[in-house]
Homo-oligomer: A and B are copies of this chain.
Amino acid sequence: MTYCVAINLNAGAVFCSDSRTNAGVDNISTYSKMRAFGIEGERQFVVLSAGNLATTQGVIAQLEKDIRTAAQVNLYSLSTLTDAADYIGSINVAVQHRHAAQGNAAMFEASFIFGGQIGDQPPEVHLVYPQGNHITTSSDTPYLQIGESKYGKPILDRILTPDSDLDTAAVCALVSMDSTMRSNLTVGPPIEVLIYRRDSLLVERRYKFSAGSEYLREISKRWDAALKDSFNAMPPITWGDGNGGKSG
Contact = CB atoms under 8 A, between A and B. Distances in A.
Given A219-B234, A222-B234, A244 B183 contact: no
A155 interface: yes
A244 B190 CA distance: 9
A197 to B, nearest CB: 14
A29 interface: no
Interface residues of A, number: 60
Interface string A213-233: 111101100111011111101
B241 A214 contact: yes
Contacts of A159: 227-228, 231
A247 B183 contact: no
Contact of A182 (B157, B214, B216, B223): B157
Contacts of A229: 226, 230
Contacts of A62: none
Interface string A132-157: 00000000000000001011011101
Contacts of A182: 154, 157-158
Contacts of A172: 231
A186 B100 CA distance: 34
Contact of A234 (B175, B203, B228): B175
Nearest to A193: B237
A88 B40 CA distance: 64
Contacts of A74: none
Contacts of A224: 158
Interface string A88-129: 000000000000000000000000000000000000000000
Contact of A244 (B209, B228, B233): B209
Given A215-B244, A245-B207, A248-B206, A237 B171 contact: yes
Interface string A22-43: 0000000000000010000000
Nearest to A205: B246
Nearest to A243: B213
Nearest to A181: B154
3 cross-chain pairs, A with B, having the tightest CB-CB distances, nearest first = A226-B230, A150-B150, A208-B247
Given A222-B233, A226-B229, 10 more contacts: A153-B183, A157-B183, A175-B234, A206-B246, A208-B244, A213-B244, A215-B235, A216-B243, A219-B234, A222-B235
